[in-house]
Structure 1
Amino acid sequence: MTDFSDLGELFTFLSGHPPFDGLPDDVRARLAAESSVREFGEGTTILDGLSASPEHAFVVLAGRVGVWNFPAKAATEPGDVDEVVGPGGVFGYVVILVGAKGGPRAVALTDVTLLRLPAWAVADMFSTPAGAAFLATELARPVTPLAADEVRERTAGQIVRRAPITCPPTVTIQEAATTMTEARSGYIVVENAAREPLGILTDHDLRARVISMGRPVTDPVSAVMTAPLAAVPEAALSSDVLIEMLDRKMHYMAVLDEQAAVMGVVQDVDFLTVPTTSTFALQRRIERAAASELPEIGATIRSIFPVLWGQQAPVRHISGVAAVAIEGMVRRCIELELPVHPELKEGDFTWLSLGSVSRREVVPSSDVDSAIILKDVPGASAEEIEVRRSAALALAAAVHARLEECGIPSDTNGATAAKPRFCRTESEWLYAASEWIDAPLSNNAMMMASLLVDGRPVWGDLTLQPVAGVYQHLSEHPRAFILMLREALTAKARLRSVRDVISLRGGTFDIKAHALVPVVNIARWAALSRGSTKLQTRNRLAAGADSPVLPDDSAEVLREAFSVLERIRMEHQVGQMAADRPPSDVVSIRRLSSLDRGLLEQCVREVAAVQRRMANLAQYLDAGEW
């Protein structure tokens, strides 16, 4: 029998189990030395996180522990247990990271020997690459199915766990840091006398702007806070908040009540209790990954779809998390390739994500579209521009090659930054956009414009969108305005073929080409008609609604249809992945449930009806009526 009072034996044990096996030897030795070995008899309650916040996490050294994760399952009969943890297993760490009540309850199913981890270990351990990988794996496991009332997605207000820690802008940095320490908080919100939020000070701000800069701690907190305060309304859906935080690489987000006062602050670890694959940990892993690790991370990204689908996450959440992860991979590939191309420097170009990735509407079959905007250099010769362009094309080709190796395919139609027509200087893009909007029927103008107005900068100048900027003024160009409307209505929702397939002979249906693309195209045009820069289809429909051609009721029909079609498409492709088949948009009608078959037919019929109404209305209107 192993003697765990011997530090050498304990060190050896930890070396053989994740996430401890990935820790540096000195950290693992310190962990062994500062942890304490505890023994519990069969039937003993080890911790009860359902009624109090646990302060320690445990590693099972010998025996078995039963863990109940949800308050509604507080029973302790072995048959009701959510999880049985054996030697090498860790429990209690999620609630420590989140810092809230709500589980787990842990009971010894046999006589057990446990290692109680010191307080510093829990946060420090999971901030390492090994800890992040462990979290990504553990939290990706399917959870116990929830009751219908528990499946509803929570709002930002429901995730807030306590009132915000606040201070006035006149307090010193030292006083603010002391308040944060006493409150065991990683942030403090700075408010004025009227309780209006001015900004936020976080642990990161203290390290980056005070400690590393040698700034006097007697300076006012307003001198180092992050402002303005990033915030969302309390009614915002948790999945949307998570994706925005991932997008902006934020660890804290303020939540405002109906009076626009700060009701609390959510942070990244709060989302450990929201269905995710530990997306913040995955993002950190991507940012630090060596080239050799990228293929494995690519497999983790692909697993997002079946894992989150199994956890009953909303489709927009699954798609958004996957898109943010893919863009993280793009950035990491650029970082790895830049040193190979000395003709390019970090600020020489902006990389645009296009298509479904930029719209945050990714599914397992999605590929990656891209474009590059080369920075204009005053006085640069044509030869110098071409040297930089050649380097950018080579870099783009290498980036897409890396992505392909990771199982993230490039656009099959060649809409990538590795092609000259998608790699131009800022002035060249502006000139091209001006030509496209003035002569929409020449040089594939409408196709190129549709691709580029979907552009989302993910590297370089994140404010740079020259083509989208030109098309914000679409309504000032009547000919292009009407032609783009007609183009948006060209891809027809094919009700007749769907009815034939369903009622006569079975068969297949391309849900993307004949149902989703028509909605995406209408939404893009509707947003441009109002000068909106929104990218997601739902947001574009909201921005373009209540217009002469797309009234509110029609926009709502399209939003509802889009949600249903997205769900059917995601379920179909996740099913294909489970059957080890390549995911595609071709749906077998006969394999759909009768409910989904009916919903699909209804959605296509309603989208087609909206298209007809829009086409009829457009005959009597011109751009001047906008």
Structure 2
Amino acid sequence: MTSSRRRSPVSALTRRGVPIGRADITVAEAADAMTRARSSTLVVQCPGSVWGVVTDGDLRRRVIAAGLSTAAPVSAVASVPAVTVDAEVPVAEAAAVALAAGVRRLVVLDASGGVLGIALEQDLLSPALRAGTALRTAVERAASVDDLVEACGRLSSVTLSLNDSRVPSADVTAVRSSVVTATVRRAAELLGDDASTWLVSGSVARRESVPSSDVETARVGGPSPMGSSVHAVLERCGLAADPHHASAASPRFVRTVDEWSGAVAGWVADPYEDTGVVMLSLALDARPVVPGGWAPAEPARAALADAAHARLLMLREATTINARVTLRDKLFRRADTMDVKAGILTPIVDIARWAGVSAGHDAVGTPARLEHGARAQVLSEDDAEVLAESFDVVQRIRLWHQCEALRDGRPVDDLVRPSDLTPLDRSLLDAAAREVAGVQRASAYLAR
């Protein structure tokens, strides 16, 4: 997929003329509407401005094979809620949404919230990504924990293959994140837990996972031993838990909806208590592994909209990491290696998170948060563009570095040695370091 096509709005790839039916029409009526429209999909209009979808495959599996009467309401066989995207969302972001949700079609909404049509996975993803989607399918269909472990054993080779095929790093990390999310969900299901209670956070939730990334999780519900059990399976799959215990194996990250909402309110009211800024960051990134599930990101965004003091502290945290020593000094004068995650990527991610929530948008990925921050004039367009380009450059270099380690059988890390890079990449990393440091210094004035 060309770069210009990736940046074009998803409306350019949307298939229109898809039939729409109310949730109370019969299965027979739905099938008739699909036949007349020559469509393999029907969008279902459910109460409360919620959309669902029914496909030919659903009719075969859930009606014919299950022996369900065609007089049953179509809502009985629809997938609800459908995963939706706005028509102006870039194709690359829509593809990441589809990958993360593990769905093969998105319902595309126009500016008024009506249905414009559907976007299919086959149109959104380049052929090079098919190996990644095939692996995700293998994870979703794993019949046992051993099958799941075996499937996940192919994740490194798929990552190498995608990187060697010069697939954009954002697509590689989106594929990895979708596989990891599917693994968390399938592990919970295989152990008999309710997967809809599980959340991922951090880089996996932002669709920015690389081989060195750990897995941050949480649960929505009462106390349960399932957190430790699921993470034990994830460890067997080669997916390490967050070393700072930000996982559902810790009681701190297992709460009911009311408990999560109350905790979020407390962190917003006093971000200094209970490591509030850190917890808010995790809450804002949190995403359910089952589409449509509840996540603490919802109350966190709502509470922060009216809490300028808490947003100010988020910005302060994002701009004080390297306030005295420039990133360029650390990269090229005082060390043989540089932790590109801590030194460059983390400040960009943190600034983007602040910009996204300050703009009142629910975007999760770093580039999308920067874009919406610029649209809302929270960030200048120049700063947002600089940070987005720097993020892309450093993620590409970071992924290359880790793929080389995988190829050589070495442990993966974020410690890049500039002398190992090509002259062009050294120059790009130098420029990214200087640019990010400059935006940090400028943004620090806003955080005073």
TM-score interval, smaller chain: 0.7 to 0.9
Residue identity matched to 2:401:
H
Paired amino acid for 2:349: V
Q: Name the amino acid aligned to 2:346.
A: V
**1:517 aligned residue:** 346
User: What's 1:472 paired with?
Assistant: 302
Partner residue, 1:319: 173
- Which residue pairs with 2:147 in the alignment? 293
Q: Which amino acid aligns with 1:362?
A: S
> Where do 1:59-98 residues align within 5 Å?
none
Is this contact kept in 1: 2:264–2:280, CA < 8 A?
yes
Matched residues in 1 for 2:394 and 2:278: separation? 24
Which deviations, in whole Å up to 9, do the C-alpha atoms of 1:350-391 show, x marking residues without a partner? 2111111011110110010111221xxxxxxxxxxxxx51xx
- CA deviations on 1:561-606 (whole Å, 9 max, x unpaired) are 1111111111111111112111110001111111111111111111
1:400 is matched with 231
Q: CA deviation at 1:249?
A: 3.8
TM-score, structure 1 normalization: 0.61
SS at 2:416's partner residue?
strand
408-417 vs 271-280, which moves further: 271-280
One of 243, 246, 254 as aligned partner of 1:415: 246
Determine what percentage of the aligned residue pairs are the same residue. 36
Structure 1 residues 478 and 256, CA, compared in 2 at 3 Å: closer, same or farther?
A: closer
What CA deviation, in whole Å up to 9, does each residue of 1:117-141 have, x standing for no partner? xxxxxxxxxxxxxxxxxxxxxxxxx
Mark the CA change 1:496 to 1:483 in structure 2 (over 3 Å): closer, same or farther.
closer
Q: How does 1:345-494 map to 2 (within 5 A)?
A: 346=194, 350-374=197-221, 389=223, 392=224, 394-459=225-290, 462-466=292-296, 468-492=298-322
Matched, 1:305 2:134: no
Residue 288 to residue 225, structure 1, CA distance change in 2 (3 Å): closer
Q: Deviations over 1:14-65 (max 9, x none)?
A: xxxxxxxxxxxxxxxxxxxxxxxxxxxxxxxxxxxxxxxxxxxxxxxxxxxx
Matched residues in 1 for 2:297 and 2:119: separation?
35
SS in 2 for 1:597: helix
Tell me the alpha carbon deviations over residues 413-450 of structure 1, each in whole angstroms, 9 at most, x when there is no partner.
11111112112222222222222111111221112222
Q: Which runs of 5+ in 2 are unaligned?
A: 45-50
User: TM-score, normalised on structure 2?
Assistant: 0.83
Q: Is the 8 A contact 2:101 2:289 kept in 1?
A: no
User: d(CA) in 2 for partners of 1:313 and 1:358?
Assistant: 20
Superposition deviation, residue 514 in structure 1: 0.6
Question: In structure 2, which of residues 394, 404, 407 is the aligned counterpart of residue 575 of structure 1?
Answer: 404
Bigger Rg, structure 1 or 2: 1
Matched with 2:443 is: 614
Counterpart of 1:71 in structure 2 is none
Q: CA deviation at 1:207?
A: 3.0
Residue correspondences, number: 434
> Matched residues in 1 for 2:253 and 2:376: separation?
33
- Give the direction of change, closer, same or farther, for the CA distance of 1:475–1:175 in structure 2 (3 Å limit): closer
| CA separation of 1:264 and 1:444: change in aligned 2, threshold 3 A | closer
- CA separation in 2, counterparts of 1:568 and 1:488? 22
SS at structure 2 position matched to 1:432: helix
Matches within 5 A, 1:115-130: none
| Aligned-partner Cα distance in 2 for 1:587–1:479 | 36
- The alignment partner of 2:248 has SS state of coil
CA 1:410/1:315 → structure 2, altered by over 3 Å: closer, same or farther? Answer: same
1:536 is aligned to 2:374: no
Match of residue 47 from structure 2: none
Contact 1:233 1:256 in 2 (8 A): yes
Unaligned runs of 5+ in 1: 1-148, 192-197, 339-344, 375-387, 620-626
Query: Is the CA contact (8 Å cut-off) linking 2:177 and 2:207 kept in structure 1?
Result: yes
More helix by share: 2
- In structure 2, do the counterparts of structure 1 residues 520 and 233 end up closer, same or farther at CA, with 3 Å as the change threshold? closer
> Which of 281, 305, 315 is equivalent to 2:134?
281
Deviations 1:72-97 (A, max 9, x none): xxxxxxxxxxxxxxxxxxxxxxxxxx
Contact 2:235 2:241 (8 Å CA) reproduced: yes
Which structure has more relative contact order (CA 8 Å, sep 6+)? It is: 2
Query: Matches of 1:263 and 1:439 in 2, distance apart?
Result: 43
Cα pair distance change 1:412/1:158, threshold 3 Å? same
- Do the aligned residues in 2 keep the contact of 1:231 with 1:255 (CA within 8 Å)? yes
Could you tell me which of 91, 97, 119 is aligned with 1:244? 97
1:110-159 Cα distance to aligned partner (Å, 9 max, x none): xxxxxxxxxxxxxxxxxxxxxxxxxxxxxxxxxxxxxxx97876666787
**Rounded Cα–Cα distance in structure 2 between residues aligned with 1:603 and 1:487:** 20
- The amino acid that maps onto 1:425 is T
**In structure 2, do the counterparts of structure 1 residues 166 and 319 end up closer, same or farther at CA, with 3 Å as the change threshold?**
closer
Query: Is the CA contact 2:406–2:412 (under 8 Å) kept in the aligned structure 1?
Result: yes
Q: For 2:200, what is the secondary structure of its paired residue? A: strand
CA RMSD of aligned residues (A): 3.8
- Which residue does the alignment assign to 2:48? none
Partner SS state of residue 444, structure 1: helix
AA aligned opposite 1:346: D
Distance in 2 (alpha carbons) for counterparts of 1:402 and 1:427: 29
CA gap of 1:157–1:303, structure 2 versus 1, over 3 A, is farther
SS of residue in 1 equivalent to 2:271 = coil
CA distance in 2, matches of 1:426, 1:235: 32
